[in-house]
Structure 1
Amino acid sequence: MKSVFLTVSFAALVAALPQDGYGYGYVTRVTTRVTPTPRPTTTSSCTITICADYINSCSMGYGGCYPACPGLPTPTFTPPPCPTTTKKPTKTTSKKPCQTICVDAVNECGIKYGGCYCSEEPFPYTKPPCPSKTTAKPTPTPAGPRKCGGLQGLQCKKGETCIDDPKSPCGIAVDCLGICIVEQFCGGFAGFACKNKGDVCIDDPRDDCDPKKGGADCGGLCVPKSWA
């Protein structure tokens, strides 16, 4: 960079300068070196970059990067405006207060129902129905036959008869257990049926007539079907 020298004459300084013996003033030459301002650097040739990051009052970021070589202008960044949000007015519904009534009701079957509700509203609780009085009775499981006979000589109740057990391979004649039944005749030539529902007619083991061996008119005895 070249320097420029400027020569400045100050006439006003003559009076202030010291005088020689002849009474003449000195003329002083003042020389000042002035460095000229450098020419602006072009944006394309600038190798210095500054990035500015700012935040406005709404915490929104703004700014940017720019070349920062001498002679180039420094840009200014304008903060973005804050967004304006308009809230919808909240609808307020004013409900007239009412008196609360609590009801503990009981229906005709002793079942409780009810609760609390506003006195200006109708009773909102429905009376529960009574349970049905007709309940199906459980079907009794028929008990097994009473045992009789055998080596112990078990006896039947009065009015019962001890016969061979149809499910046993041996009879009371050889000391096997039999069963006690209320004697009721069935079968025979007239084909008498059992009176009790669920009973079946079995061959009477006390006689010599065997329906399996041609005795079509053999008499029998009624026993529950589960015993046969």
Structure 2
Amino acid sequence: MKSVLIAASFAVLAAALPQDAYVTRLTTKLTKTPRPTTTSCSITICADYINSCGMGYGGCYPACPGLPTPTFTPPPCPTTKPSKTTSKKPCQTICVDAVNECGIKYGGCYCSEEPFPYTKPPCPSTVRTTTKPTPTPTGPRKCGGLLGLQCNKGEICIDDPKSPCGIAVDCLGICVVEQFCGGFAGFPCKTKGDVCIDDPRDDCNPKTGGADCGGLCVPGAWV
């Protein structure tokens, strides 16, 4: 009974209040506070445009709902057109190896569209003469020894004046043409540059009083 009276009292109170005030209170009570929106955006769109002159323009911008979409203005076209660079057409390369009448070589490589750039060198006015070097006299032919080396026909084997031992103890000797020199009359050698040495085949020694000992002619370079 008491609850029925309380409900009737609320109904009477509601009827006594103005109609618009009652609606305002109900609206205020039922309105929800909106949640704060975040300022960061994880969606990005990049726009690339090309104007009438082929120049690129545009940019990137955040594309979340509620954010404005930017506009991009095309750049103006240049007033002067860039000059085109012309590349030279490659030419065929020719290589020439030439020789003049004196045997001097000349030439090289050049472009086939160009004239021959190399000039034939002149011949020297004086011809150089090459002198043959004087042959160095060779040593005497060796003979004797343990191998029993023989001399050529017309030569004899004697002890080498530069050797401390002779052919009698199996040392090597030298081959000479038998040409007598010296003696009591002092016969000279006939060939220029030859010297007269003591004949090692006899027992006569000019160093021990044999003034008339005979000798043999050998080249001076052998002594």
| TM-score, normalised with respect to structure 2 | 0.44
**TM-score between the two structures when normalised by the length of structure 1:** 0.43
